[in-house]
Amino acid sequence: MDFTNLKPAQMEIKVLGTGCAKCKTLEQHTNEAVKELELSADVIKVEDIVEIMNFGVMTTPALVVDGKVVVKGKVPSVSEIKVLLTK
C-alpha cells in the first residue's frame, strides 16, 4: 500500500469555558502548544454551558482532546499541554 498521500490525522482540541480569564489563558496556552508542536489540530472554544456539562465537566476551564477530557478546573502551562498533546 502507498501511504505517501495520507494526511496526518487532524486532532480536535476543545477548550471548555464560559469566557473567564482562566478560560482565555487556557485557550492561549493551547494555541501556543499546538503551534510549537506544529500539530495539525483544530482548537475550538466551547462556551455553551450545556455542551460543557455534556462532557461531565463542572469546573472550568477544561481541555478536551479528541473527545476525552484531559484537564479540568485548572490552567496547565504550555509545556504541560505539550506533554498532554503528545501522549
Q: CA 53 to CA 32: how far, in whole Å?
A: 26
Number of domains in the chain: 1
Q: CA 71 to CA 83: how far, in whole Å?
A: 12
pLDDT band at 4 (very low <50, low <70, confident <90, very high): low
Q: 2 lies in a domain?
A: no
Range of the domain at 63: 11-85
Q: 6 lies in a domain?
A: no
User: With contact defined as beta carbons under 8 Å apart, do 17 and 23 qualify?
Assistant: yes
Could you tell me the three cell numbers for 75? Answer: 490552567
| Model-wide pTM > 0.85 | yes
pLDDT in tens, 30-82: 999 999 999 999 999 999 999 999 999 999 999 999 999 999 999 999 999 99
CATH code of residue 31: 3.40.30.10
Could you tell me the three cell numbers for 47? Answer: 462556551
User: For residue 6, what are the contacts with CB-CB under 8 A and spacing of at least 6?
Assistant: none
